[in-house]
Amino acid sequence: MNEQTIGEPQHAQIMLLTKLERFSPAAATFSLPAESGCVELSELLHASLQNQELLKDGEMLEFDFLIEGELLRSSIIQYMENKQISTETVVNIEFILKLPSPTPEQSLLHNDWVSCVQANGQYVLSGCYDNTVKIHTLDGKELLTLPAHSAPVRCLSWLSTGDDVQTFVTGSHDQLLHVWRWETSSNSIRCLYKCAGHAFSVEDVTASPDRLQFASVSRDMTLKIWSTDERGVSLNTEEAPAKKRKTHEVQTKVPIVTLAGHHEGVVGVCWREPSDLVTVGLDHTIRLWNLEMQSNTQTITSSKALLAIDCSPISGKFVTGSSDRHVRLWDSKVSDASMVIGNFSSHTGWVSSVKWSERDENLFVSGSYDNLTKLWDIRSPKTPLFDLTGHNDKVLAVDWSRPSHIISGGADNSLNIFAYKS
């Protein structure tokens, strides 16, 4: 750092830049007290934009500020000292529009723990420890309660969508997966397939990007791949488990691929590409799989048991939730053996669920046993953007499949829906 006269406040030289098209002409160098933070930068920016007539009369937009790709969450001088940047250096600061806070819209009560949730268009699926699956609209209307399994429902995933017909899959502690066909116009539902093959509780299930397959993982330490078409159908059939519906024959499916490698239960799975998946297990490992080779192509060891994983549909990076209360960001393209490129440490309980934004490669949400759902920006690893409160017991599942809504389910028997306007 350069020498300062005793008692003289330090100043920082900054240049405000932006990629926002509306404000792209706004780039200027300023000198301001080095103790300034986001509040002072916002005041300076608003004054500058008003002078350039780039703000409408009375318009008060909220901004965030990035230095070298990291959101500023301290004073400028603290950041410069941490990065060992001289106060004689002109610091480029990029301003972006501040993200709005999600707002609570619905809290829907169930009869037991809500263990899994996923939105699809205007509909929300939720699985419960009372063995049922519910379908709601986003505005809170309950359309159907399905006696889906003979044990708690642990996971679910939409498979296909249409104007009149939608299909989804559910997995349970009863070791089975069921594929369902729901006719929305008549609100009628039937079980198409019973998927048998796991030897213990089914912990997670997810549809492939092309919707031609789905993957499931279990405490039996395996990853299984199932087809959404007739492949894997057994000749054995039985009566559908759903009551109060027309009797029909349910076809039994067996997996088309079974992959083993974990040494303890597998609790999370996500697709990176149509032939590439990632799983996490209680054996402290992350495993990358290739279906064409039908093999475990890479294994990454973590220090604690891993509880959840999700892959970004945009960047291919993945985040994991752990029993050590941390969320970690991984990138398989990094040459370093650990591949960890971010560590997010704000939760005070086990992190049970994570989900990326469908539209923004920087944003994801996490749910924890500390009763909180948190919205994160990977450019701010130490501080979440927002805490989404409302649960009074453990958060067991989070979902952001619909960009306009963040959804969570918890051990307080509630499903909470937050509106998010990007």
Nearest to residue 403, comparing CAs of 360, 366, 348, 367?
Answer: 360
Q: Measured between alpha carbons, how far apart are the two ends of the chain, in Å?
A: 40
pLDDT value of position 7 = 53
- 363 located within any domain: yes
**Are 387 and 349 part of one and the same domain?**
yes
How does pLDDT run across 286-316, given as a tens digit for each residue? 999 999 999 999 999 988 999 999 999 999 9
CATH number at residue 27: 3.10.20.90
Cα(324)–Cα(30) distance, rounded to whole angstroms?
43
- 2 located within any domain: no
Nearest to residue 310, comparing CAs of 363, 258, 384?
Answer: 363
**Are 153 and 55 part of one and the same domain?**
no
**Are 283 and 182 part of one and the same domain?**
yes
Of the residues 41, 73, 97, which one is the last residue of a structural domain?
A: 97
- 62 located within any domain: yes
**Are 222 and 205 part of one and the same domain?**
yes
Asked if residue 77 lies in contact with residue 34, where contact means CB atoms within 8 angstroms, the answer is: yes
Asked if residue 291 lies in contact with residue 225, where contact means CB atoms within 8 angstroms, the answer is: yes
**Are 62 and 152 part of one and the same domain?**
no
**Are 254 and 303 part of one and the same domain?**
yes
Own/partner long-range contacts of 275-280 (Cβ < 8 Å, ≥24 apart): 277/215, 277/223, 278/309, 278/311, 278/318, 279/217, 279/223, 279/309, 280/306, 280/307, 280/308, 280/309, 280/320
Of the residues 75, 97, 119, which one is the last residue of a structural domain?
A: 97
The list of the chain residues with pLDDT below 70 reads 1-8, 25-27, 235-248, 334-338
Q: Do strands 249-253 and 188-195 pair parallel, antiparallel, or not at all (unpaired)? A: parallel
Q: Token pair 């992350």 is at which residue?
A: 286
For 122, half-sphere exposure in the C-beta direction (CA atoms, 13 angstrom radius) is: 9
How does pLDDT run across 147-198, given as a tens digit for each residue? 999 999 999 999 988 889 999 999 999 999 999 999 999 999 999 999 999 9
**Are 406 and 264 part of one and the same domain?**
yes
- 3 located within any domain: no
Cα(265)–Cα(285) distance, rounded to whole angstroms?
11
- 157 located within any domain: yes
Of the residues 37, 71, 97, which one is the last residue of a structural domain?
A: 97
- Exposure letters 197-231 (e unless 16+ CB within 10 A, then b): bbeebbbbbbbbeeeebbbbbbbbbbbbbbbbeee
Nearest to residue 348, comparing CAs of 378, 376, 381, 323?
Answer: 323
**Are 155 and 217 part of one and the same domain?**
yes
pLDDT value of position 102 = 97
The CA-CA-CA angle for residues 11, 13, 17, to 5°, reads 140
- 91 located within any domain: yes
**Are 149 and 193 part of one and the same domain?**
yes
Domain that holds residue 267: 103-419
**Are 181 and 51 part of one and the same domain?**
no
pLDDT value of position 336 = 60
Cα(336)–Cα(338) distance, rounded to whole angstroms?
6
**Are 154 and 33 part of one and the same domain?**
no
pLDDT value of position 382 = 87
- 241 located within any domain: yes
**Are 299 and 389 part of one and the same domain?**
yes
pLDDT value of position 88 = 84
pLDDT value of position 335 = 59
- 116 located within any domain: yes
CATH number at residue 146: 2.130.10.10
Domain count across the chain: 2
What is the pTM assigned to this prediction?
0.90
